[in-house]
Amino acid sequence: MSRKKSTVYIEEAADMRLEAAARKLGASKAELIRRFIDEGLLRTGESEPPLPPLPKYRSERPLTVEEMDEAIYQSMKRRAQKR
């Protein structure tokens, strides 16, 4: 997923709270801002939660049809559990 840079001006008090929350959660301020935007858009019905990418398969040998079916099934099962 590509990202686009944006500049947002926030109150100093909000920035301090954001910084404290980032330290507490072990995340960057930018990551928290992205999370908050995603959550806000979900609440307004403007966005669907991002789904994790489908698995990439790297193997010394090609997967059989049955192995590929099982891998896709497991991936879809994990995605469904996150909803």
pLDDT for residue 48 is more than 80? no
Domain identity same for 60 and 46:
no
Give residue 4's domain range: 1-50
Average pLDDT, the chain: 83
Domain identity same for 59 and 45:
no
Domain identity same for 28 and 46:
yes
Domain identity same for 29 and 40:
yes
pLDDT in tens, 26-38: 889 999 998 898 8
Domain identity same for 5 and 40:
yes
Q: Return d(Cα 79, Cα 83) in angstroms, integer.
A: 7
pLDDT in tens, 56-75: 666 677 778 888 888 888 88
Q: Return d(Cα 34, Cα 25) in angstroms, integer.
A: 14
Based on the structure, what is the number of domains in the chain?
Answer: 2
Domain identity same for 77 and 56:
yes
Domain identity same for 9 and 43:
yes
pLDDT for residue 10 is more than 90? yes
